[in-house]
Chain A
Amino acid sequence: MKNIRLATCSLFAFLMLHTSYAQAPVITAATPVATTVERWGKFEVQLSITANWTNPYDYDEIRVNAVFTDPAIFEREQARIFRGPTWHFLALDDEISKPGDFKSTFIGTTPVVVTRTKDDQLKAWVNRCAHRGALVCRQPRGNARVHTCVYHQWAYDQEGRLRGVPFRGGLNAQTGMPEDFSLEANSLTPVRVAARGGLVFGTLGAGTESLEDYLGPLMLPWIDRIFHQPVEYLGCTRQYAKSNWKLYYENVKDPYHASLLHLFHTTFNIYRSNMQGRTIVDPRGLHSIITTTPRENDNTAAAYKAAGIQTYQEKVKLNDASMLRVRPEFAEQTSNNIHTLFPSTVIQQIHNTLAVRQVLPKAVDEFELVFHFFGYRDDDPDLRALRYRQANLAGPAGYISMEDTEATELVQRGVSASPHGDASYLGMGDEARDRQTSLITEHMIRSFWGGYRGLMGWA
């Protein structure tokens, strides 16, 4: 297996000499794989970091099992990625539509509240009292003029500014806070907010570039395609997976699995690998989008049958196909639009079901996945009813999504058994990396690891 892998690397490196990634060193079978040991706190982390890591597509060396199992790497991600120069979905604008509306959420493991102020401004702050560090806001959502910590009743306004401290001036003969105590200096940590088309994002990074620059010109049109008119929040579903958050990112960047793991997809013509497809990656490897559009005069069923692909099952017929009716609402009615924004946001359009999936890491081997479903404000009753009906497709119980968290847990269980082991083979579509129409490819995953490695300081 190793020989095959290295041979593939050589071919890969050869190909790259003919692309814009020509700076990458050539990897040959003779190149020794060096390991280095990094120390973070009490942890020693052994990583196969070699000179070859300057190659953003060197998937062989990058996906070591430790990135899914090592708590020190998880902490480094929180510092360098989630509290670093990245933007994160916080809410749909419509979730906090009235002044005072707030929503409690997270950026990585950091608790954050996003709210609409009385002046109609979107603000967010870290949900951690400046006094002792208690959570200030304890409700998932609501409406409030003032946010008061229950512990000692320190009170903050909607912008997170400290407005009142009980007994600040003491009580009778008892002294209070020191004279130089400053309300302003003890405000909640602000979170920078940016909105686009009904999406509200936040960043904890001090110098994060603008949201538009972060997403970039290749990705923005796909966001605007979905968020071209006011949206209405329809509710959420939450699920909890015992696996590393990056395994979910691999999953949503992996069109290869979609028609193999999800039989429902294939059988009912929602997703087949010879549909008209797009697999576009932003130049930094961070974001990507997969779309599929059924072709006219599609004969895919015959092709799957001829190839003997087990995931196409003729015997599975729907008694009630009302769920699969499609109301065209886009210029190109894609059957799947899975738009992955690094590192915590996935925008989904599957038929008429629209959702923003939020990935919330909880521990090195746990994450929460929240689907925020939405429609458009001007949905007619038929279309709205169809969106509720198609909610059967996606979410924790979804016909075409329930397997995803299962798959991530299977990988987690596998890699945990050998955290320093040889990890993976991500070679599908290797020789046609620039062909962004192939649905049988792992190039988006390879790019993800390149972008990830850069942010982790391992470039």
Chain B
Amino acid sequence: MSTLPDDLLLYFRIDRLFADYCACLDEDRLEDWPNLFVANGLYRMVSRENHAHGYQIPLLLLDSHGMMLDRVHSLRHANIYQAHRYRHAISGVRITAKGDDAIEVASSYIVVQTLNDSFTEVYQAGSYYDTLVDTPEGLRFRQRLVIYDTARVKTLLATPV
């Protein structure tokens, strides 16, 4: 135990990125959320059922800062849904591959949702499969693939997971 694992610093930087990600979504800082992606980054949310069978239809597919901001603006000004808060819990973070300019990271998440007049309930569980790149601003998502296990979306999904 005398030497530190080579990846310790990298794991720490990933942990900070994920903490920022959760803070954006859980603390109602949605406008900051796209900035954790590179400009042409991809956010794609697909059910486990579709993913397992190779069907590609997404629940959400946002592949630019513009599309991500549009989602946020639409939630702020256009869409109607019950006021709610998420709390993310991310665990089992693993670096699964290292390339020249990017790393692949897999993790598990649970999101609980609290509607403004109700109890806290488990809203969704699933996996994140990420491609992360180093930028002058720090680690950023080139791609976040969200594979959700929870077959049924409870009522609706407004805020990204």
Contact = CB atoms under 8 A, between A and B. Distances in A.
Interface of A: 140-141, 233-242, 261, 263-264, 267, 313, 315-316, 318-320, 322-323, 368, 373, 388-389, 391-392, 395-397, 399, 402-403, 405-406, 409
A9 B116 CA distance: 40
A180 to B, nearest CB: 43
B57 A392 contact: no
Interface stretch (B13-21, B46-54, B131-139): B46-54
Given A237-B153, A264-B74, 18 more contacts: A141-B53, A234-B57, A235-B46, A235-B50, A235-B57, A236-B47, A237-B59, A238-B153, A239-B154, A240-B154, A316-B78, A319-B66, A319-B70, A322-B67, A392-B60, A397-B153, A402-B81, A406-B81
Contact of A373 (B45, B53, B57, B65): B57
B152 A239 contact: yes
A399 B153 contact: no
A319 B59 contact: no
B158 A320 contact: no
A209 to B, nearest CB: 33
A238 B151 contact: yes
Given A239-B152, A263-B78, A402-B158, A397 B57 contact: no
A397 B70 CA distance: 14
A319 B62 CA distance: 12
B79 interface: yes
Interface in B97-155: 151-155
Contacts of B47: 235-238
B1 interface: no
30 contacts: A140-B49, A233-B55, A234-B55, A235-B50, A235-B55, A237-B47, A238-B47, A239-B153, A240-B152, A240-B155, A241-B155, A264-B74, A264-B79, A313-B78, A315-B77, A319-B69, A320-B67, A322-B67, A323-B67, A373-B57, A388-B57, A392-B60, A392-B61, A396-B59, A397-B158, A399-B79, A402-B156, A402-B157, A403-B156, A406-B82
Interchain residue pairs A-B with the least CB separation, the first 4? A235-B55, A320-B66, A319-B66, A235-B57
Given A238-B151, A313-B77, A406-B156, A389 B64 contact: no
B80 interface: yes
A420 B68 CA distance: 46
B56 interface: yes
A316 B74 contact: yes
B58 A318 contact: no
A319 B155 contact: no
A427 to B, nearest CB: 24
A336 B57 CA distance: 20
B70 A320 contact: yes
B153 A396 contact: yes
Given A316-B73, A319-B69, A323-B67, A397 B60 contact: yes
B152 to A, nearest CB: 4
Given A239-B155, A397-B60, A402-B158, A263 B77 contact: yes
A270 to B, nearest CB: 12
A300 to B, nearest CB: 17
A235 B56 contact: yes
Nearest to B155: A405
- Most chain-A Cβ atoms within 10 A of its Cβ — which of B46, B56, B81? B56
Contacts of B155: 239-242, 405-406, 409
Contacts of A397: 45, 59-60, 153, 156-158
Contacts of B73: 316
Contacts of A402: 79, 81, 156-158
B149 to A, nearest CB: 12
A313 B80 CA distance: 14
Nearest to B151: A238
